[in-house]
Structures are given as C-alpha cells and as structure tokens.
Structure 1
Amino acid sequence: MDGASIGAMGNREDLLASAARCLQEKGYGRTTARDIATGAGVSLAAIGYHYGSKDALLVEALVEAMAKWGESIGVALSAATAVDDPKERFVRAWNAVRDGFAAHRGLWTVQFELLAGLDHLPGLSERLAAAQKEGRLGLAALFQGRTEVADTPEELARGVFYQSLLLGQAGQWLIGPELAPSGEQYLLGLSLVADDVLGAPKD
C-alpha cells in the first residue's frame, strides 16, 4: 500500500472518530459537516469522497459506537453474571446495563433524537433497519454470554425481547436516572406477565 492510500485510509478513520465525538458532544442535528472535517483535520470534500454525505458518515459513526458499547457492556455483563442462578444473572445483567448508561449518555440521546427525526432524513431509516437484525442477534448473544448466536427465529425473538427492554430502560433513564427499571423490577414483571400469558387457565 502506497503513501497516498495509507493517507486516504487515515483520513477515513479520522473522519469516523471525529463524527463519533461530535455525536457525543453535539448530537445529530447540531453537528455540521464542517465540525466533523475540522475535528478530523481534513477538507470538507473528504466527507463526500469517503462516505458520500455527512448523514451517511454520522450513521456509520453511530453504528460503530453501538458496537463499542456492546463490547464495553459485554465486559460488565461478564462480571455481573458470573453466578449459577439464572434469575440472579438476569437481575445483575440489567442492573449492569442501567448503571452503564451514564458513561454513554450522548450515544443514547442521539438514538432517540434520530428516531424522532427519521421522516426528515431520507435513507436513514433504511440504513438503521439494515443494522437492526445484526443488532438483535448481537443482543441475544450478549445477554446469553456468547460471542455470537445462529441466525434463527428463536435467537431473533430473544434479540427483539432484549432490545425492547433495553430501549425502554434507556428512555426512562434519560428522563431521570432514578426512573430506569432495575433488574429486580424487570424480573418481577417478567414473572407476572409469564404467569398471565403462559400460566395455567384460571377458573
């Protein structure tokens, strides 16, 4: 690889890192192409050359940030779930997730910001939808303590369940950290709903 190619790759990575910082510090709507280019130390034209548009770059940065969040929360879950009892593992896992939001507040704020503005960002919903399946399988693996799981309806169903709990917990945490459901509350709710839906018929 020649020097020009190495430089181009460096510019691409610098843009991605700068976009990630801007998302954390300014959010999606207030980040400009100039903010990103200045932070990366490159020209505005470099964004179009490497990513096509500012929006495409920001979404790429968000997807990568979520992957890094998955890695960090995976470490926390490994420590929190090192117990044999499945109920205790479930409780510890969700408490660990809740306690990890503070370090990634900007990431979650941006996600809810994007959900509110999808109609005004052409192509964004398609890009996020493309990452949805991978994200669900990743969550299914994460909460089972695995590196990956098979692409099956069962694992996707697990991922949908975990994703729904995760977004609900994140949203309530953003409103007020004290409002975020605990692992104990999730376990009790899960038990009650399972009894209502799957329990023996009542007279």
Structure 2
Amino acid sequence: MGHREQLMTAAKRCLEERGYARTTSRDIAAAAGAPLGTINYHYGSKEALLNQALLESLRQWGDRALDSSDEPDATTTPGERIVAMWARMIDSQLTERQLMVASVEAMAQAERSPEIRRQLADALEWSRSSLAADLHGLDDIEPSEETRAVGSVHSALVAGLTQQWLVDPERAPSAREVAIGLRAIARDLEGDA
C-alpha cells in the first residue's frame, strides 16, 4: 500500500478516534507511518484529505444503511423497505457514533470553508438521488422534481435523526416511530390536496 492509501486509511481512523476538529496533520502522518509532507503532496491539505476520508466513510455508511440483503424476500413492500432502512440507519447511530460526530463537526467547518461546503453539498446532492432511487425506485440518472423532493426529505430525516441520536439517544425516535410520524404527516398533506 502506497502513502496515498495509507494516509486515507489513517485519516479515517483519526476521524473515528479524534474527530474532525481535533485531528492534526501530525496525527494522520503518525497513524500512516508517513512523512508529514506526504499529506500536502497527495491531497493538497489536511482538510482535503479529511474531507475525502469523511465523504468516503459516509458513503460506505449510507451503502450499509441502504443494503437490503437482510430483508426476507422480494415481496417486501416499499413501506417495509423504508422502515427497515431507517432501522439500520438508527442502529448505526450506536455502532458508528464517532463517524456521525465527525460529520457534524465537518458541517460546522463548512461555514468558513468554501471547499468543505462544496464537497459536502455535492455529497448531499448525490445522497438525495441515491435515497430516492434505492428506496422508491425513482430515476437517479435524470432526477425529476419528485425524485429530488423525496431524496431531500430522507436526507433531512437522516440529519435530524443523527442530531437526536447524538444528543438524546434514550428518547430519540425508533424507525417505527418515524414511520408513524411520516404516515400522519402524509395523511394531513393528502387532506390538503
């Protein structure tokens, strides 16, 4: 494994162990067993490396949350698939807490860094399409207004649930409660239509 890959692996580990805000270039270089200057050589800056490491980790986390291989069979209804995905996502709040903390820290950094903001915005846009496609079968190649709206609602729920599970895990909603709430909201919206 070359320095580039070692740095990426080390950055992911530092994100888990130290968080986004507390990870230094020296921490990453030491964890990678690489000279300090290799970070700038391969990634341009510590922030660029951490951002890429965080985004890769979040995509992997999203893939695991969307993985439906543990569902019984193809007769699973869309509603059951959605509740199962929310259950996996909520379970991951416990098993991958440090990744969730690092993502919140990165969001705060985006206020002062146009590069971080752009990278996170691109990742959010990608996740909107992916969520709509994976959970609802909507087109993610040529997304419609509906595709973007559905993905945006799921994305907002992920962000909101993450905050609730980080701050108050004992009272944060379960996947079942999220489904109950969404059904109630949908009924009210249908009544207005």
With normalisation by structure 1, the TM-score equals: 0.84
Using the TM superposition, give the Cα deviation of residue 122 of structure 1 relative to its aligned residue in structure 2, in angstroms.
4.5
Using the TM superposition, give the Cα deviation of residue 191 of structure 1 relative to its aligned residue in structure 2, in angstroms.
1.8
CA distance in 2 between partners of 1:12 and 1:168 (Å): 34
CA distance in 1 between partners of 2:179 and 2:72 (Å): 14
Q: Measured at CA, do residues 123 and 176 of structure 1 come closer, stay the same or move farther in structure 2, by a change above 3 Å?
A: same
CA distance in 2 between partners of 1:177 and 1:80 (Å): 25
- Give unmatched runs, 5+ long, in structure 2: none
CA distance in 1 between partners of 2:59 and 2:71 (Å): 20
Between Structure 1 and Structure 2, whose CA radius of gyration is higher? Answer: 1
What residue in structure 1 maps to residue 18 of structure 2?
26
CA contact (8 A) 2:29 2:39 kept: yes
Aligned counterparts, 1:1-203, within 5 A: 10-75=2-67, 77-80=68-71, 82=73, 83-144=75-136, 149-153=140-144, 154-199=146-191
Q: Aligned letter for 2:23? A: T
Aligned residues: 191
CA distance in 2 between partners of 1:120 and 1:81 (Å): 46
CA distance in 2 between partners of 1:87 and 1:142 (Å): 13
Q: Measured at CA, do residues 79 and 145 of structure 1 come closer, stay the same or move farther in structure 2, by a change above 3 Å?
A: farther
CA contact (8 A) 1:80 1:93 kept: no
C-alpha offsets along residues 50-91 of structure 1, whole Å, 9 cap, x if unaligned?
11000000000011101211232233x332474533333332
Across the aligned residues of Structure 1 and Structure 2, the Cα RMSD in angstroms comes to 2.2
CA contact (8 A) 1:149 1:155 kept: yes
Q: Aligned letter for 1:136? A: R
CA distance in 2 between partners of 1:67 and 1:118 (Å): 18
What residue in structure 2 maps to residue 3 of structure 1?
none
- Give unmatched runs, 5+ long, in structure 1: 1-6
Identity of aligned residues (%): 39
Using the TM superposition, give the Cα deviation of residue 176 of structure 1 relative to its aligned residue in structure 2, in angstroms.
2.4
CA contact (8 A) 1:78 1:145 kept: no
Q: Measured at CA, do residues 49 and 74 of structure 1 come closer, stay the same or move farther in structure 2, by a change above 3 Å?
A: same
